Amino acid sequence: MQTPVNYLARKHWKQTGTIALIGSIYLLSSWILKFDGLTGIVAIPKAFSWLGINFKPTANSIHFLPTIWQKLIGTVLLAIASTVVASFIAIFVALIGAKATGGNALVQTVVRGIASFFRNIPLVAWAMILLFSFKQSDFTGFLALLLMSVGYLIRAFMEIIEDEASETMLALKATGASYFQVIFQAVLPQIMPSLISWILYMIENNVRDATLVGILTGTGIGFVFDIYYKSFRFDAAGMTVLSIIVVVIVLEVLSNQIRKVIL
Amino acid sequence: MISNSDERLLTQPKSPKPNKIKLRNPSLSSYMITGVITFLILTTAYTLTHLDAANVKIGSAFSGLMMTLNQMFLQPSAGSDGIVMLLQALGISLLLSIMTTIIGAVVGFFLAVMASKNLTNAWLGSGIRVFMAIVRAIPTIIWVLIFSIVCGLGTNAAILGLSFHSVAYLTKAYSESIEEIDQSTIEALKVTGSKFWVIVFQAIWPTIIASLVSWTFIRLEINFANAVAVGAAAGAGGIGYQLFVASGMSFDFHEVGMIVYLIIAVAILLEFIAVKLRKAYIAK
C-alpha cells in the first residue's frame, strides 16, 4: 500500500539514483576525455584575465573598425537573405507536409524525413562541400546557411500550422471555400505572426552561425576574426568580438520589441 | 381602403448602400507585419543582387556539387581511417556534448534561480541576465578559440567553450520557466517560514521539471551539433575534426558521406529520445 512514508522513501531513492547516474556519466566522460574539472575551473579566471589584457581594443585598433563593420554588415545581410529565401521554400514545403493542410500520410512522412535529414547534416559538412564547388565567396556562405535554415524552418512551420490553423482549415472547408482560398485568406494570415517570430529567431541564429561558416569558408566576419586571431593581432580580434556582441544584442532586442507588437 | 397603388406601401425598402465589407481591421500589429516583411524582402533583394560570387560559373559549380553529393550520399565508405576510428571519434563528440550539457544544466539551474525576477532581488538578477546575454552573443566557436589559448588546443578548450555557451543558454531558458510560476505558490511557502533552497527544491523544481527536461534535451541536440562544429573549426578532436580533414584536406568525399550519415544517425536518435521524454513528462 502507498503510504506517505513509502512514497517519500521511493522518491528519495529515485532522486539519489538520478543524481548518481548523472554524476557517474559526468565522471566517466571526464575520464575518457581526460578532462580535469579543477584545471578547467582554474582556467576560467585565467582566460578572463588574459582576455582583459590582450583583447582590450586599443587606440590602434580603431583603424580596423571600418573593415570589421563592413564585413559584419555584409554578414548580417547574408543571414537575412538566407533566412528569407529559406522561409519562402519552407512555407510551401510545410503546407504540403503539415497534417492539417497537406497531402496524405505518405507525403507527410516524406516531408518530415527530408526536413530532418537537412536539419541534421552538420553545418560544417555543408560549408566544406560547398567550398569545394563554389570556392571562397559570399555565395558559399549564403548556400550553407540556406540549406541549414530550410530544415529547421520546415519543422517549425509545420508545427505552427498544426497548432494554430487546424480548426480554421476545417471550418473554412465546411463553407465550401477552395483549397487555395483557405490557404491564402485564412491560414497564412493567421499564422503570420508566429512565422515572423521564427524568422527573426532564425536571423539571430544565422548571424551567430555565419561566424562559424566564415571561419571555415573564408567569408564575412568569421574570416576577419580568424585572420586577426591567427596573426596574433588580438586587439583587433577583441574589437571584432565586441562588434559581434553589439550587433547580436541589438538584433535580439529589436526582434523582442517586434515580437511584443505582433504577437 | 387600402389600395395596392398606395405610394407608401409600394416604396421599396431602401437597400443600404453597398458598402465594401471590411475584411481586415488595420492595427499596429498588421502594420508591423507588413513593415517587417517589406524590409526583409527588400534587404534580401539588395543582398542577392550585390552578392559576390567570386566569378564562379554557377552552372558548372552546381554540376560539380551534384557530383560531390553523389559521391557522398550514394557511395559512402569509411575511407582510410576505417569505421572503428570514425566510431571512436563519434563517441568522443557525443560524450563531449553530454558532458557539457550536464555542466550547463547544473550551473545553469543555480544561476537561473538567482536570476529569476520572482526569487531574488532585482540587482543580482539583472546583473546575471546582462552578463549571460553577452556570453550568449559571442558564438560558441569564438569561446572555444579563446579558451584554447589558455589551456591549449584540444578537448579541454572545447569542453570549457561549449559549457560556457550552454550555461548562458540554459540560464535564460530555465529562468523564463521559473518566472512563469504562480507567485502565490512561492508566497504561501514563504509564509510557512520555509528557507530559500527548500522553496526552490520542493516547490519550484517539481513545477518546472517538464520544461527543464525539455530545454535540457534541446540543448543536448544543439551541443552535439556544436561539438561537431568546434571539432572542425578549432581542432578540438572528435568526428568534426575527421570531417574537416576528409573534406578540406584529403578531399575524400566518400568518407565525408560516411561521417555525415553517422552524425545524422546520432542526431536523429537524440531527437527521438527528446520527443519521447517530452511526451512522457507532459503525460504526467
A74 and A45 belong to one structural domain: no
Residue B168 pLDDT more than 90?
A: yes
ipTM: 0.83
Hey, of A120, A143, A251, A260, which one would you mutate to test binding to chain B, going by the most B CBs within 10 A of its CB?
A: A120
A103 and A204 belong to one structural domain: yes
- Beta strands, E only, A46-133: none
Q: What is the residue whose three cell numbers read 575520464?
A: A31
Number of domains present in the structure of chain B: 1
Rounded to an integer, the average pLDDT of B75-79 is 77
Domain CATH code at residue A254: 1.10.3720.10
Domain membership flag for residue B13: no
Domain membership flag for residue B66: no
pLDDT value for A81: 93
DSSP A83-100: HHHHHHHHHHHHHHHSTT
Domain CATH code at residue B134: 1.10.3720.10
Q: Chain B residues with CB inside 8 Å of A222's CB?
A: 141
Cα distance between residue B207 and residue A19, in whole Å: 18
With a CB cutoff of 8 Å and minimum separation 6, the contacts of A225 are A211, A214, A215, A237, A240, A241, A244, B142
A184 and A229 belong to one structural domain: yes
Residue B1 pLDDT more than 60?
A: no
A44 and A130 belong to one structural domain: no
Domain membership flag for residue B15: no
Instruction: Return the C-alpha cell found at A65.
Output: 573598425
Q: B87 CB near a chain A CB, below 8 Å? A: no
In percent, the amount of chain B with pLDDT more than 90 equals 15
Q: Searching chain A, which residue's CA lies closest to the CA of residue B233?
A: A216
How many angstroms separate the first and last alpha carbons of chain B?
80
A138 and A191 belong to one structural domain: yes
A26 and A148 belong to one structural domain: no
Question: Rounded to a whole number, what is the distance in Å from the CA of B17 to chain A's nearest CA?
Answer: 25
A88-120: burial string, b at 16+ Cβ within 10 Å, e else: eebbebbbbbbebbbeeeeebeebeeebbebbb
Last residue in a domain, options A33, A54, A75: A54
Question: Rounded to a whole number, what is the distance in Å from the CA of B193 to chain A's nearest CA?
Answer: 21
Domain membership flag for residue B10: no
The chain-wide mean pLDDT, for chain A, equals 85
Residue A98 pLDDT more than 70?
A: yes
pLDDT value for B11: 60
Domain membership flag for residue B110: yes
Cα distance between residue A30 and residue A25, in whole Å: 9
A142–B54 C-beta distance less than 8 A: no
Domain membership flag for residue B133: yes
A48 and A158 belong to one structural domain: no
Alpha helices in B116-204 (DSSP H): 122-137, 140-151, 155-179, 183-191, 196-199
A46 and A66 belong to one structural domain: no
Is the pTM higher than 0.90?
A: no
Number of domains present in the structure of chain A: 2
In percent, the amount of chain A with pLDDT more than 90 equals 13
**Domain span at residue A29?**
4-54
A42 and A142 belong to one structural domain: no
**Domain span at residue B276?**
75-283
Question: Rounded to a whole number, what is the distance in Å from the CA of B94 to chain A's nearest CA?
Answer: 10
With a CB cutoff of 8 Å and minimum separation 6, the contacts of A154 are A90, A93, A94, A97, A111, A114, A115, A118
Residue A134 pLDDT more than 60?
A: yes
Domain membership flag for residue B167: yes
A47 and A64 belong to one structural domain: no
pLDDT value for A101: 78
Q: Judge residue A13's burial from the number of C-beta atoms within 10 Å of its C-beta, 0-12 exposed, 13-18 middle, 19 or more buried.
A: exposed
pLDDT value for A250: 92
A128 and A40 belong to one structural domain: no
Cα distance between residue B241 and residue B89, in whole Å: 9
pLDDT in tens, A199-228: 999 998 898 888 888 888 888 888 888 888
Angle at which helices B155-179 and A37-54 cross, to 10°: 90
| A200: number of Cβ within 10 Å | 22
Residue B186 pLDDT more than 90?
A: no
> Of the candidates A81, A209, A245, which has its C-beta nearest B134's C-beta?
A245
